Amino acid sequence: MLESLKGMMLTLASTVTGLRRPVTQQYPKQATPVKPRFMGFPALTWDGEISEPYCTGCMVCIRNCPTQCMSASMMDNPKHADGDSSRRKIVDYFEINLNRCILCGICVEYCNFDAIVMSHEHEMSTYARNGDRVDLPALLEIGKKYQEATDWIPPTVLAKQKADAAKSAAGEPAEASGG
């Protein structure tokens, strides 16, 4: 009996000393901010200069996807024929089954054209079983939203900028580190 009381007193004391400002966030009402690197659902990026997607439908992401959640096809780029774009091929059809996607980010890592990003979108529950199969327009829309929200610069451009900055800082050709 005495032991129980002593235990209860310890609990009470620890609770009182443990009182701090609550960190609870009322989630559905109050949006929880995500970190800059947060990996949400994958989305396709939009090249605003030429107003076409970055994606050429080369399918390297599909080959490297662990869950085979994507499918795509390419077509000849009409803008290349007109001389507006340097992309010979452009994505024709792209679909991601977000229910299958495991948000691993491998597609982003293997993309050669900066065409796919892990967006900050993570609230995409639907009532339909196939409600999370998103097609090209929807993916581009999520991508545009992400690009606007984060002032997105293509990673290859960013890497080049960093390397140039390092080169000019060192005064000699420096090797770009893995960052």
Partner 1 sequence: MSTQPDTLPDIQADRADAQPVEMLLNMGPQHPSTHGVFRMVLWVDGEKVVDVEPHIGYLHRGSEKLCEGEQYHQIVTLFDRMDYIGNFNNELAYCMAVEKLMGLEVPERAEYIRVILCELNRVASHLLYVGTMGLDAGAMTPVMFSFRGRERVQALFEAVSGARMMHNYFRIGGLKEDVPDNFRELMDELMPILREDVEQSDRILTFNEIFLSRLKDVSPITANEAIAFGLTGPMLRACGYEYDVRKAQPYSVYDRFDFEVPVGLDGDCWDRHWVRVQEMYQSLRIVEQAMEQLPDGPVASPLGRRLIRPPAGEAYVRAENPRGEIGVYLVSDGTDKPYRLKVRPPSFCNLSALRRLLVDTWLADSVVVLGSLDIVLGEVDR
Lateral strand order in the sheet of 89-97:
70-76, 89-97, 133-134
Interface residue with partner 1 among 50, 105, 138, 154 (CB under 8 A) is 105
CA distance 112 to 54: 10
Stretch that binds partner 1, among 1-9, 50-58, 89-97, 135-143 (CB under 8 A): 1-9
Query: Could you say which residues in the range 30-59 bind partner 1, by CB under 8 A?
Result: 34-39
**β-bridge mates for residue 166, sequence order:** none
Cβ-Cβ contacts under 8 Å for 108 (sequence gap 6 or more): 42, 61, 116, 117, 118
Q: Quickly list H helices, the chain.
A: 2-17, 60-64, 78-82, 106-110, 136-150, 155-170
- Nearest distance, CB of residue 101 and partner 1, angstroms: 11
Q: Closest CB to partner 1 among 79 and 110?
A: 110
Stretch that binds partner 1, among 3-11, 48-56, 69-77, 126-134 (CB under 8 A): 3-11
Stretch that binds partner 1, among 6-14, 46-54, 84-92, 132-140 (CB under 8 A): 6-14
Q: Give the angle subtended at the CA of 101 by the CAs of 144 and 118, to the nearest 5°.
A: 30
Q: Closest CB to partner 1 among 77 and 119?
A: 119
- Nearest distance, CB of residue 85 and partner 1, angstroms: 26
Interface residue with partner 1 among 50, 106, 138, 174 (CB under 8 A) is 106
Q: Closest CB to partner 1 among 3 and 123?
A: 3
Contact 102, 66 (CB under 8 A): yes
Query: Could you say which residues in the range 113-152 bind partner 1, by CB under 8 A?
Result: 118
Q: How many CB atoms lie within 10 A of CB 162?
A: 13
Residues in the interface with partner 1 (CB under 8 A) total 31
According to DSSP, residue 121 is labeled: -
Both tokens of 26, joined, read: 């009322």
The site for partner 1 (CB under 8 A) is made up of 3-4, 6-8, 10-11, 14-15, 17-18, 23, 34-39, 64, 66, 102-106, 109-110, 118, 177-179
